[in-house]
């Protein structure tokens, strides 16, 4: 078994709780935490939205791919950006170093949780006219394809959702 499988890789829609839940999950499971979006911002010295505005969505996806495929950590919870699933190379790398967990929420919950998509630095492959519903429908099959474990975190508090993810990952490992 790959020694890197001590990592947990969180995927899911923007607003599903990957970053917030990831911090709590790391504490619960005594792991480090790495936020893929913050790694991109740190490497480029700009917010995600500033990068997207400057280079466009396709180039941003390539930047995200490069950052994610370079991740080399152990015993870490990795929160990816919602668009990570657009990069097959990055997702294959992440799957090789960790257990990929899809944080699933309903579209209605997504609408409740998300503020302004433009401020969040969300990649809209269909352009700024792309609706949240279109984005949800486009990405959901990708999350399902890459997930080793799917955890429904809808309507759960962050702590309850993190505990549910920890149980699911431990159950898969045993």
The phi and psi torsions of 172 (rounded to 5 degrees) equal -65, -35
CATH 3.90.550.10 fits 3-161, yes or no: no
The tokens for 48 are: 């995600």
Residue that is written with structure tokens 């992440």 in the block:
94
Residues 41 and 8: their CA atoms lie apart, in Å, by 21
Q: How far is CA 140 from CA 3, 13, 104, 131, in A?
A: 29, 8, 9, 14
Neighbours of 158 (CB within 10 A): 15
Please measure the distance between the N-terminal and C-terminal CA atoms of the chain and give it in whole angstroms.
13
Q: Using an 8 Å Cβ cutoff, are 25 and 19 in contact?
A: no
Helix (H) or strand (E) holding 168: helix 158-173
Residues 24 and 30: their CA atoms lie apart, in Å, by 10
pLDDT in tens, the chain (174 residues): 344 578 999 999 988 999 999 999 999 999 999 999 999 999 999 999 899 999 998 999 999 999 999 999 999 999 999 899 999 999 999 999 999 999 999 988 888 877 555 555 566 666 666 778 888 999 999 999 999 999 999 989 999 999 999 999 999 888
Q: Domain segments of the chain: what residues?
A: 3-161
Parallel, antiparallel, or unpaired for β 98-104 and 76-79? unpaired
């Amino acid at each position: 078994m790959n020694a890197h499988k001590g990592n947990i890789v969180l995927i899911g829609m923007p607003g599903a709780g990957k970053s917030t839940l990831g911090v709590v999950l790391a504490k619960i499971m005594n792991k480090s935490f790495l936020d893929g979006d913050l790694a991109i911002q740190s490497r480029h010295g700009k917010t995600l939205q500033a990068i997207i505005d400057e280079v466009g969505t396709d180039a941003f996806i390539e930047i995200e791919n490069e950052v994610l495929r370079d991740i080399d950590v152990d015993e870490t919870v990795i929160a990816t950006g919602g668009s990570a699933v657009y990069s097959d190379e990055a997702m294959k790398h992440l799957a090789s170093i960790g257990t990929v967990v899809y944080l699933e929420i309903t579209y209605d919950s997504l609408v409740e949780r998300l503020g302004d998509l433009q401020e969040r630095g969300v990649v809209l492959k269909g352009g700024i006219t792309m609706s949240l519903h279109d984005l949800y429908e486009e990405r959901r099959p990708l999350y399902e394809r890459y997930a080793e474990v799917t955890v429904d975190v809808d309507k759960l508090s962050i702590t309850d959702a993190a505990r549910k993810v920890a149980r699911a990952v431990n159950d898969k490992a045993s």
